[in-house]
Amino acid sequence: MEDKLIEKIMQEVSKELQAPLKTETARSNGTQQQETQTCQLTEFIGTAMGDTIGLVIANVDHAIHEKMGIDKKYRSIGIIGARTGAGPHIMAVDEAVKATNTEVLAVELPRDTKGGAGHGSLIIVGSQDVSDVKRAVEVALATVERTMGDVYANEAGHLEFQYTARASYAVEKAFGAPVGKAFGLICAGPAAIGVVLADTAVKSANVEVITYSSPANGTSYSNEVIITISGDSGAVRQAVIAAREVGIKLLGTLGATPQSLSTPYI
C-alpha cells in the first residue's frame, strides 16, 4: 500500500517537472503562440505579430522634434515599428487614421524581414492630443493580424497582397495613392516573381498603376518587386486576386506551398 502511494506521488512530481519541458518544446516547434510580454513604461502600448511594437511619446523633446522635421503642432506621436512586414503595417495604420484624429507623419521601410528578402517598417503618426495617438496605435496593433492574412511565405521567399476599398492617408503618404479610391498592393520576393505578378495584375483588370518598385529603385535594395494600383474597387480586388493565384504557384516551385501568416481577408 505504501509502495503504491509513493509511486503515485512520484508520478505527480514527474508530470510537474515535465510540463515546462513540453511547453518549451511546443514553442520551439512553432505550435504555441508567442508569450505576451508586459512592460510598465508609459511609452509602451503593446505588440503584435511580425515583431511589431507600438509606442507613444506624449510630449516629444523639442530638440528631437525639430530634428525629425515634425510640425510643432504635433506635440504627441505614436510609433509603430516591425521587423517583418511593411504593407500590413501601412494598411493597419491606414485604418487607424480613419478612426482617429491623427495624421501620418512618416513612413519608412528599412531593409529587414529578419534577414529575409523584404522590409520592416517604421511609421509615425501625430496629434495635438496624446489620447488620439494612443488610440491610433491601439487600432493599428489590433489590425495587423488581419492585414497579415494575405502575406504568404515559405523557405524561399514571401508574397504580400493588400486591398482596401477606400484608401486613406497612410497609403497616400507611403505610395501617393488617391485618398478615397480603392487601393491594392502586390509584392513578391524573390523580385523575379514580382515582375510577373505586376504584369499579371495589370493585364487582369482595368486598373491604374501608382508605383512600381524594384531592388535598385524604391525598395531599399531588398529582393522584391512591389506594385501598387488604384481604380474601381472590383477591378482592384480582381487584379490582386489574379496576382495572388499566380504568385502562390510560382513561389511554390522553390519550396513548400506558401502558407498564409494569419487568415486571408481579400
Would you state the pLDDT for residue 185? Answer: 98
Q: What is the pLDDT of residue 7?
A: 56
pLDDT of res. 117: 87
Average pLDDT on 245-264 reads: 97
- C-alpha 260/C-alpha 195 separation (Å) is 21
Q: What is the mean pLDDT of the chain?
A: 88
**Of the listed ranges 111-120, 190-199, 225-234, the one predicted with least confidence:** 111-120
3-state secondary structure of 20: helix
pLDDT at site 26: 38
Is the pTM here over 0.75, yes or no?
Answer: yes
8-64, pLDDT tens digit by residue? 544 554 444 444 433 333 333 333 344 557 788 999 999 999 999 999 999 999 999
Ranges of H-type helices in 120-218? 130-147, 169-175, 191-204
* CB-based contacts of 266, cutoff 8 Å, min separation 6: 149, 150, 161, 162, 163, 237, 240, 241, 244
At 114, is the pLDDT very low, low, confident or very high (cuts 50, 70, 90)?
confident
Question: What value, to the nearest 5°, has the Cα angle with vertex 52 and ends 49 and 58?
Answer: 140
Nearest CA among 68, 123, 119 for reference residue 94: 123
Q: Which helix H or strand E contains 182, and what residues bound it?
A: strand 182-189
